[in-house]
A and B are shown apart, each in its own frame.
Chain A
Amino acid sequence: MTQWGIEVEHLRKEFDGKPAVRDVSFTVGAGTLLGLLGPNGSGKTTIINCLTTVLTPDGGRLLVDGCDVTGAPEQVRARIAVTGQFAALDEVLSGRDNLMLFGRLLRLPKRQARQRADELLDRFALGDAADKPVKAYSGGMRRRLDLAASLVVPRPVVFLDEPTTGLDPRSREELWQTIRQLRDDGATILLTSQYLEEVDRLADRVVVIDAGRVIAEGTGDELKGRVGGQVCEVTVPEPNRAAAREALRAFSGEVAEHGEHLVVPVSRPAQLVEIVRLLDDRGIEIDDAALRKPTLDEVFFALTGRADETADGDERAADGDAGTTGRDGERPAGAVPAEGARS
């Protein structure tokens, strides 16, 4: 067994000349869980697709459980379990028949495939729906079955692309439990998410990407430390907002404006009092001031120095070169020769 479950070195992938992943590097220690955090269109699924042999990378070196993804894709496929962003199931067959089908495809004898299917149906609380066709499943049931389908035969490396999107809080909690169990059983897991909370709860380490680049890397606590762990949200009625903004700027360089709210990262709860006092001293009237946990938007704001207003990945990818310089995403010279020539 190698030290790394997954190694990504200078991965590049573009679609029709538009870069989707631009020089991404990270490693996932064997038996650990890495959370890949990023907004819509940042390249999470593309990275997973490259690692799982679905897409051919345009550059870089990818190793999964020590096997080269482009050089030995069959070796990689024999070592991975993949749950994609969208369920990949046979809609006509029942849940049990789906699991048996995948078991049989993985060369389990019929009886064993059936036994394994029943085990998984039980574990994912799908026993009651086992014989219903998948097209009659709810979104949450479908996601659970999809995860079960990728676990028919245990694999050393597991890819989970936004596994809890669309689940209710209880199902989400249950799925988190299952994912932790997988990790405790020794699997290396790469999990993508748009939720800071999710990677915070599950991941040993977190890689944050934006517009196809790594912009931060570390443990959940380290990342939150960079945003101050908490933010102070100050609600200011209109005539005073510019003045308040100016005042807060003295407090922290990173003031975000969301409608009538101004948001500042804080490192100690006591700073709430300091902020209120500061505004009061300057005679700026406010409606409200409160501490709360940073949202993903704010993590991004703190990390990139700009608000994540555009949900459109293409747009951000297009202006990414000029506008953003990831603090951690400094790209090694010469790693992406094609990039400058293209734009």
Chain B
Amino acid sequence: MTAAAGTEAGLGNLVAQGAVLAGRNLRHRATVEMAVMFVVFPLIFVFGFLLLFGRLFDARGLDYGQFLPPAIVAQWMFTVANTSGAASAADRASGMYRRCLVMPVNRGAIALGRIASEAVGAFVAVVVISLTGHLAGFRFHGGVLAACGFVALAVAFALALTAGTTAVGLSSGDPAAVATLLNLPYLALIMLSTAFVPADAFPGWLEPVIRNSPVSVVIDALRSLASASPSWVEVRGAVVWVAVLAVVFGVAASRVFRRAR
């Protein structure tokens, strides 16, 4: 009665099944709430903050229209990662994850599907925010290559964070709790960074912490990549931070992945 059964081994399965799962993950993002979240919120943030602080910073000689969008990008990379962590938890709660485990689905394809769908989600968010920023005066002054670097760094940052949120999501299995829990580090890290105000706006003793926090380093590198003269040193610092996060979170995620049922 049964056709010779194909196992999950092989690159063909990895790619094909990874693509199917990525498509499925993206369909979850293609709901009305998600569209609102990914398109409308960035718009509100860019123009809202600009309206609030734009003139204040103009008075200090800071071009807030150029300063703000990279921060919104970083903020949205957190959102991509956090919603992804909650989605992993939901997959455990619904049993979807378990069904994949008893099917001949390549183990790598489950991870690849997440990476691919979140990369697409992050990419779309960066493009939307950059276009919105354009209306507010944001420009890529450093040329096409630097602009591509901007997008690549932002997406890589989102994926590194996603590894961490996946570890949390898969080990918990409670999407609502995961979403709440992940908001804490997100808010703390964004507040204590150069996202919305320059580092010198913080008290002197806090300044070194703010300057060297991974979020500040990534945001400053993004700003640098959008500027007329991108600084290699700043970009390198961000690449190192993203690599460190990716390794640490990646190890945690693969550990959880091997145990989660």
Q: Write the residues of chain A forming the contact surface with B, with a CB cutoff of 8 angstroms.
A: 49, 52-55, 74-75, 77-80, 82, 84, 86-93, 97, 101-102, 104-107, 149, 153-156, 185-187
Contacts and interface: CB of A to CB of B under 8 A. Distances in A.
Contacts of A153: 3
A186 B1 contact: yes
Nearest to B27: A93
Interface in B101-133: 101-105
B201 to A, nearest CB: 43
A90 B90 CA distance: 9
Contact of B104 (A77, A86, A90, A104): A77
Contacts of A156: 1-2
B103 A84 contact: no
A86 B261 contact: no
A78 B103 CA distance: 7
B102 to A, nearest CB: 4
Given A87-B95, A88-B95, A105 B9 contact: no
A107 B13 contact: yes
Contacts of B134: none
Contacts of A80: 102
Contacts of A52: 102
A53 B9 CA distance: 15
A54 B261 CA distance: 7
B31 A92 contact: yes
Interface in B1-24: 1-3, 5-9, 13, 16-17, 20-21, 24
A257 B169 CA distance: 49
Contact of A78 (B6, B20, B99, B261): B6
Contacts of A93: 24, 27
List 8 tightest A-B contacts by C-beta distance, closest first. A88-B95, A78-B5, A88-B99, A74-B7, A82-B102, A78-B104, A77-B104, A78-B7
B36 interface: no
B100 interface: yes
Nearest to B24: A101
A79 B17 contact: no
Nearest to A134: B94
B32 to A, nearest CB: 12
A53 B94 contact: no
B54 to A, nearest CB: 39
A155 B2 contact: yes
6 contacts: A54-B102, A78-B6, A82-B102, A84-B99, A93-B24, A107-B13
A240 to B, nearest CB: 52
A187 B7 CA distance: 19
A154 B2 contact: yes
A121 B214 CA distance: 50
Interface centre among B21, B28, B90, B102 (most CB of A within 10 A): B102
A102 B104 CA distance: 10
B96 interface: yes
B141 interface: no
Interface centre among B20, B31, B99, B100 (most CB of A within 10 A): B99
Given A154-B1, A156-B2, A105 B7 contact: no
Contact of B98 (A54, A101, A102, A149): A54
Given A77-B7, A102-B103, A89 B2 contact: no
Given A89-B95, A105-B17, 14 more contacts: A74-B7, A74-B104, A77-B103, A77-B104, A88-B95, A89-B94, A92-B27, A97-B27, A104-B20, A105-B105, A106-B103, A106-B104, A155-B2, A186-B1
